[in-house]
Amino acid sequence: MRPRDLLCPKPEGLYCAPGDFFIDPVRPVARALVTHGHSDHARSGHGAVLATQETLDIMALRYGDGFAGSTQVARLGEPVAINGVTVTFHPAGHVLGSAQIAVEHGGMRIVASGDYKRTPDPTCRAFEVVPCDVFISEATFGLPVFRHPPARDEIGRLLKSVSQFPERTHLVGAYALGKAQRVMRLLRDAGYDRPLYIHGALAKLSSYYQRCGIELGPLEPATTDNGAKRDFAGAIVIGPPSAFQDRWARRFPDPLACFASGWMRIRQRARQGGVELPLIISDHSDWDELTATIRDCGASEVWVTHGREEALVRWCELEGISARPLHLVGYEDEGD
Ligand SMILES: [Zn+2]
pLDDT per position in the chain (336 positions), as tens?
899 999 999 999 999 999 999 999 999 999 999 999 999 999 999 999 999 999 999 999 999 999 999 999 999 999 999 999 999 999 999 999 999 999 999 999 999 999 999 999 999 999 999 999 999 999 999 999 999 999 999 999 999 999 999 999 999 999 999 999 999 999 999 999 999 999 999 999 999 999 999 999 999 999 866 655 567 999 999 999 988 877 888 889 899 999 999 999 998 989 888 899 999 999 999 999 999 999 999 999 999 998 889 999 999 999 999 999 998 877 776 667
| Ligand 1 midpoint to CA 192 (Å) | 27
So what's the pLDDT on residue 250?
82
CB 117 within 8 A of CB 282: yes
Measured in degrees and rounded to the nearest 5, phi and psi for residue 327 equal: 55, 45
Q: Is 157 helix (H, G, I), strand (E, B) or coil?
A: helix
Q: Is 4 helix (H, G, I), strand (E, B) or coil?
A: helix
So what's the pLDDT on residue 204?
97
So what's the pLDDT on residue 229?
57
Adjacent-strand bridge partners of 279: 260
Contacts of 91 (CB under 8 A, 6+ apart): 76, 98, 99, 100, 124, 125, 126, 127, 128
pTM of the predicted model as reported, rounded to 2 decimal places: 0.95
So what's the pLDDT on residue 306?
82
Contacts of 208 (CB under 8 A, 6+ apart): 57, 58, 61, 96
So what's the pLDDT on residue 1?
86
| Ligand 1 midpoint to CA 257 (Å) | 24
CB 123 within 8 A of CB 182: yes
| Ligand 1 midpoint to CA 254 (Å) | 32
| Ligand 1 midpoint to CA 117 (Å) | 10
Q: In the chain, what's the furthest Cα-to-Cα distance?
A: 67
Say how far apart CA 305 and CA 332 lie, in whole Å.
Answer: 11
| Ligand 1 midpoint to CA 253 (Å) | 33
| Ligand 1 midpoint to CA 336 (Å) | 7
Say how far apart CA 50 and CA 272 lie, in whole Å.
Answer: 40
| Ligand 1 midpoint to CA 49 (Å) | 17
Radius of gyration for the chain, computed over Cα atoms and rounded to the nearest angstrom = 20
| Ligand 1 midpoint to CA 174 (Å) | 13
| Ligand 1 midpoint to CA 4 (Å) | 24
CB 111 within 8 A of CB 119: no
| Ligand 1 midpoint to CA 111 (Å) | 16
User: Which helix (H) or strand (E) element contains residue 248?
Assistant: helix 247-250
| Ligand 1 midpoint to CA 140 (Å) | 10
| Ligand 1 midpoint to CA 92 (Å) | 10
| Ligand 1 midpoint to CA 273 (Å) | 21
Q: Is 229 helix (H, G, I), strand (E, B) or coil?
A: helix
Adjacent-strand bridge partners of 323: 302
Contacts of 192 (CB under 8 A, 6+ apart): 159, 217, 236
| Ligand 1 midpoint to CA 37 (Å) | 7
